[in-house]
Amino acid sequence: MTVKTRPGLLLIISSPSGAGKSTLCSHLRREEGDRLWTSVSATTRERRKNEVEGQDYYFVSHDKFQRMQKGGEFLEHAEVFGNFYGTPGEPVEKRLNAGIDVLFDIDWQGAQQIRSNAEDARVISIFILPPSMAALEHRLRHRAQDSEETVQFRMSRAHEEISHWEDYDYVLVNDDLDACFKRLHAILTAERVRAEKEYAIKDLAISLIKK
Amino acid sequence: MTVKTRPGLLLIISSPSGAGKSTLCSHLRREEGDRLWTSVSATTRERRKNEVEGQDYYFVSHDKFQRMQKGGEFLEHAEVFGNFYGTPGEPVEKRLNAGIDVLFDIDWQGAQQIRSNAEDARVISIFILPPSMAALEHRLRHRAQDSEETVQFRMSRAHEEISHWEDYDYVLVNDDLDACFKRLHAILTAERVRAEKEYAIKDLAISLIKK
Q: What tens digit of pLDDT does each residue of A13-70 get?
A: 999 999 999 999 999 999 999 999 999 999 999 998 889 999 999 999 999 999 999 9
Answer for the pair B132, A208: CB distance below 8 angstroms, yes or no. yes
pLDDT at A171 over 60: yes
Measured CA angle at B17 (ends B74, B107), to 5 deg: 25
Q: For all residues of chain B together, what is the average pLDDT?
A: 94
Contact residues, chain B, for A137 at CB < 8 Å:
none
The confidence score (pLDDT) of residue B9 equals 98
Q: What is the dihedral of CA A43, A48, A52, A56, to 10 degrees?
A: -50
Closest residue on chain A to B169 (Cα): A194
pLDDT at B5 over 80: yes
In Å, how far from its chain's centre is CA B142?
25
For B15, the 3-state DSSP assignment is coil
- pLDDT band at residue B106, thresholds of 50, 70 and 90? very high
pLDDT at A129 over 80: yes
> From the candidates A32, A209, A210, A211, which should be mutated to test the interface with B, based on the most B CB atoms within 10 A?
A209
- Asked if residue B18 belongs to a known ligand binding site, the reply is yes
pLDDT at A3 over 70: no
Q: For chain A, percent helix, then strand, then coil, each to nearest 5?
A: 50, 20, 30
Closest residue on chain A to B209 (Cα): A159
pLDDT at A2 over 70: no
Cα B207 to Cα B211: distance, rounded to the nearest angstrom: 8
Least confident range from A87-91, B4-8, B157-161: namely B4-8
The confidence score (pLDDT) of residue B29 equals 96
B201 within a domain of the structure (yes/no): yes
Residue of A133, A169, A186 lying closest to B208 (CB–CB): A133
- pLDDT band at residue A146, thresholds of 50, 70 and 90? confident
Cα A15 to Cα A105: distance, rounded to the nearest angstrom: 9
Measured CA angle at B52 (ends B48, B55), to 5 deg: 130
B148 within a domain of the structure (yes/no): yes
Biggest CA pair distance of chain A: 72
A69 within a domain of the structure (yes/no): no
The confidence score (pLDDT) of residue A80 equals 85
For B58, the 3-state DSSP assignment is strand
Q: What is the mean pLDDT of residues B177-201?
A: 97
DSSP B71: T
**CB neighbourhood size of A79 (10 A):** 10
Q: For chain B, percent helix, then strand, then coil, each to nearest 5?
A: 50, 20, 30
Beta-carbon separation of A209 and B163 below 8 A: yes
B163 within a domain of the structure (yes/no): yes
Answer for the pair B76, B116: CB distance below 8 angstroms, yes or no. no
pLDDT at A190 over 70: yes
- pLDDT band at residue B2, thresholds of 50, 70 and 90? low
Nearest to B104 by CA among B54, B29, B207, B210: B29
The confidence score (pLDDT) of residue B211 equals 67
Which residue blocks in B71-130 are alpha helix, DSSP H? 89-97, 108-117
- Strands B74-80 and B57-59 turn out to be unpaired
Q: Which of residues 146-165 of A touch B (CB under 8 A)?
A: 159, 162-163, 165
Strand-pairing partners, residue A36, are: A101
The confidence score (pLDDT) of residue A119 equals 84
The secondary structure element, H or E, covering residue B180 is helix B177-196
Tell me the one-letter amino acid at A56: D
B169 within a domain of the structure (yes/no): yes
% of chain B at pLDDT higher than 90: 86
Cα B57 to Cα B42: distance, rounded to the nearest angstrom: 6
Q: What is the mean pLDDT of residues B100-113?
A: 96
Q: What is the mean pLDDT of residues B43-57?
A: 92
B169 interface with A at CB cutoff 8 Å: yes
**Domain span including residue A108:** 10-39+100-209
pLDDT digits (tens, 9 = 90+) for B159-187: 999 999 999 999 999 999 999 999 999 99
- Strands A10-14 and A101-105 turn out to be parallel
Tell me the one-letter amino acid at B170: Y
The confidence score (pLDDT) of residue B4 equals 76
B66 within a domain of the structure (yes/no): no
Measured CA angle at B3 (ends A158, B185), to 5 deg: 85
Domain at A185, CATH number: 3.40.50.300
The confidence score (pLDDT) of residue B147 equals 86
Biggest CA pair distance of chain B: 72
Closest residue on chain A to B201 (Cα): A171
pLDDT at B43 over 90: yes
Asked whether this complex has an ipTM greater than 0.85, the answer is yes
Number of domains within chain A: 1
pLDDT at B3 over 80: no
A48 within a domain of the structure (yes/no): no
Cα A167 to Cα A127: distance, rounded to the nearest angstrom: 9
Q: What is the mean pLDDT of residues A134-163?
A: 90
Strand-pairing partners, residue A125, are: A12
B121 within a domain of the structure (yes/no): yes
The confidence score (pLDDT) of residue A186 equals 98
Beta-carbon separation of A193 and B171 below 8 A: yes
Nearest to A197 by CA among A11, A1, A6, A2: A6
